[in-house]
Amino acid sequence: MAPLTERMQDYLPLLITGLWRTVAVSLLALILATALGLVWAMLRTSRNVWLERPARFIVEFLRGIPILVVLFYIYFVMPEIGLDLSAFQAGVIGLALTYSCYIGETFRGGIEAVDRGQVEAAKSIGMRHGKMMRRIILPQAVRIALPPYGNNMVMLLKDSSQVSVISVAELTMQGKMLASSTFDNMTVFTMVAALYLCLTIPLNIVMRQVELKMGKSR
Amino acid sequence: MIRFENVHKSYGRHEVLKGIDAEVEKGQVVCLIGASGSGKSTLLRCVNGLEDYQAGGIFIDDRKVDAHAASIHDIRTRVAMVFQRFNLFPHMTALENVMEGPAQVLREDRKEVRARAEEHLRRVGLADKMDFYPSALSGGQQQRVAIARALAMRPEAILLDEPTSALDPEMVGEVLNVLRDLADAHMTMLIVTHEIQFAREVADRVFFLDSGRIAEQGTAEEVLSRPKSERTQEFLRRVSHLL
């Protein structure tokens, strides 16, 4: 066998390709999940039961299904009803749907944790619901929801490895293929783990900085 | 200006307001006193629709207050409120708190709003605290910002729900002084308070509430110094240690 550093140099380009795919899947899924999560949170905190109930149903429903099954469903079942998606698209959508529920619940928790007196103060100057949400409640809810949202982000990033089951060639998938062709399991998977850490550790640091900064302007 | 006609309110089977009839005239300062649970805060919160009521009517210049009607937003811009726990917006500076209503709800010119907000903050003695966030202000200062926020709406009346109850004793005075100034300027105010001495001083009228009814009303002198009802006498005896 070639020396370790040489092998690592051999593996690295493939793994880096996978890493970028992981970043792309995660980033797109995060954007979609955040937007959709905000929608769920707004619906679920609405006083209108016709908005709240269906949203609650969808969220509970999606949360009750393992992410792998969601991915299989989107990738293998959707084409049968005429919706052909690439593995990449199916992976992004599956991750986004699943995480929109977690993120939605995180936002909902933040909204509901805002002091009731804030709603009354906003109402008492004549604010309507929409403006009150935008100007008074959401800015405070974001601060409260930020730490758990950061956790959601890191978890989503790690769970993006699940899309390898529908053959998206992200980091985990690239690692598995490399390992099965070289039998150099230890080196390959150690590198894979290290590359994930290269994403998650800076992410955690950035989140902590943002939290600190937001905490200051209170 | 504010008229109560046989107002009834219950939470489930518990009736908290059992037929309130009263009137507040323009420029009057009315203090609502009574034991906790007597319904005075609830009554106040019905005036701007933070609570609804089941029967009777509250009228502001002959417009009926209905918490579930679209008109409630407009009514709230004319009847401002000051809360026991200030409820300032914590993500905005004192100045931004005061500007929020006129700028965002009344959609007035931002420059003017700012100039007026600064004027209101000066009036409550906070010229040097305009750019402070609420968390950096004392309770008394926060409540004065809240009063400035109410004034900035240029309301026809202000509702104050125990404005000094959450304050440390040494800060009560500064808030009461601001309210005295407003009373002198003939701002219509409806104040729920436990400060009997203050009520004696500034109130044109005092309503004494007892288990959901106005047991006695009249001038401050009448109700607080020569109360007719036994319940009023008893209540005043019990709170007299506060004087």
Measured CB to CB, residues of chain B less than 8 Å from chain A are: 48-50, 73-74, 76-77, 80-81, 83, 85, 87-91, 100-101, 104-106, 133, 135, 149, 153
**Chain B hits for A117, Cβ within 8 Å:** 83, 85, 87
Report the distance separating Cα A15 and Cα A191, nearest Å: 8
DSSP code for B60: E
Residue A198 is predicted with a pLDDT of 95
For residue B59 the two structure tokens come to: 């009228």
Residue A133 is predicted with a pLDDT of 92
Asked if the structure places residue B57 within a domain, the reply is yes
- Alpha-carbon distance values, B178 to A84, B146, B151, B183, B184 (Å): 69, 11, 12, 9, 10
The percent helix, strand, coil of chain B (3-state, each to 5) is: 45, 25, 35
| CB neighbours of residue A89 within 10 Å | 16
**Chain A hits for B101, Cβ within 8 Å:** 125-126
Interval B183-229: pLDDT, tens: 999 999 999 998 898 899 889 999 999 989 999 999 998 999 888 88
Whether B88 sits inside 8 A of A121 (CB atoms) is yes
What is the total count of domains within chain B? 1
Report the distance separating Cα A16 and Cα A140, nearest Å: 39
A130 touches chain B (CB under 8 A): no
Report the distance separating Cα B163 and Cα B77, nearest Å: 20
- The H-or-E segment that residue B129 falls in is none
User: A with B: how many residue pairs have Cβ under 8 Å apart?
Assistant: 61
Report the distance separating Cα B226 and Cα B224, nearest Å: 6
Share above pLDDT 70 across residues of chain A, in percent, rounded to a whole number:
98
Whether B77 sits inside 8 A of A126 (CB atoms) is yes
- The H-or-E segment that residue B216 falls in is strand B213-218
Asked if the structure places residue B183 within a domain, the reply is yes
Asked if the structure places residue B171 within a domain, the reply is yes
**Chain A hits for B89, Cβ within 8 Å:** 118, 121-122, 136
- Alpha-carbon distance values, A77 to A82, A86, B56 (Å): 9, 13, 60
Cβ-nearest to B87 among A121, A127, A143: A121
For residue B91 the two structure tokens come to: 């993500």
Q: Is B64 left (phi over 0), alpha (psi -120 to 50) or beta?
A: beta
Average pLDDT, chain B: 92
Interface test with B, best of A114, A119, A123, A125 (most B CBs within 10 A): A125
Interface test with B, best of A124, A129, A142 (most B CBs within 10 A): A124
How far is it between the farthest Cα atoms of chain A? Answer: 75
**Chain B hits for A122, Cβ within 8 Å:** 89
Return the axis-axis angle of helices A87-113 and A138-159, rounded to nearest 10°.
150
Residue A215 is predicted with a pLDDT of 67
ipTM: 0.91
For residue A43 the two structure tokens come to: 């619906």
Interval B137-152: pLDDT, tens: 999 999 999 999 999 9
Whether A125 sits inside 8 A of B153 (CB atoms) is yes
The residues, any chain, with a CB within 8 Å of residue B240's CB and separated by 6 or more, are B196
Compute φ and ψ for B160, nearest 5 degrees.
Answer: -125, 120
Alpha helices by DSSP H, B79-138: 94-100, 110-123
Residue A46 is predicted with a pLDDT of 86
Cβ-nearest to A217 among B73, B80, B133: B133
Residue B62 is predicted with a pLDDT of 86
Report the distance separating Cα A124 and Cα B82, nearest Å: 9
Interface test with A, best of B45, B76, B86, B104 (most A CBs within 10 A): B104
**pLDDT tens digits in sequence order for chain A, 218 residues long:** 788 999 999 999 999 999 999 999 999 999 999 999 999 999 998 888 999 999 999 999 999 999 999 999 999 999 998 888 999 999 999 999 999 999 999 999 999 999 999 999 999 999 999 999 999 999 999 889 999 999 999 999 999 999 999 999 999 999 999 999 999 999 999 999 999 999 999 999 998 888 888 765 55
Residue A212 is predicted with a pLDDT of 85
| Domain coverage including residue B219 | 2-87+157-242
More confident residue, B198 or B243: B198
**Chain A hits for B49, Cβ within 8 Å:** 123
| CB neighbours of residue B66 within 10 Å | 15
- Alpha-carbon distance values, A153 to A28, A44, A106, A150, A184 (Å): 12, 21, 11, 5, 31
Residue A216 is predicted with a pLDDT of 56
- Alpha-carbon distance values, B239 to B37, B224, B234, B243 (Å): 15, 11, 9, 8
Which residue in this structure is represented by tokens 């393992």?
A66
**Chain B hits for A217, Cβ within 8 Å:** 91, 133
- Alpha-carbon distance values, B241 to B174, B196, B237 (Å): 22, 11, 8
Question: Residue B243 pLDDT more than 90?
Answer: no
For residue A166 the two structure tokens come to: 């529908």
For residue B243 the two structure tokens come to: 């004087």
Whether B48 sits inside 8 A of A117 (CB atoms) is no
CA B59, B61, B64: angle at the middle one, nearest 5?
Answer: 30
**Could you name the CATH architecture of A4-216?**
Orthogonal Bundle (1.10)
Q: How do the domains of chain A map onto residue ranges?
A: 4-216
Interval B68-111: pLDDT, tens: 989 999 999 999 999 999 999 999 999 999 999 999 999 999 99
Which amino acid is it at B212?
A: G
- Chain B: residue whose CA lies nearest to A115: B87
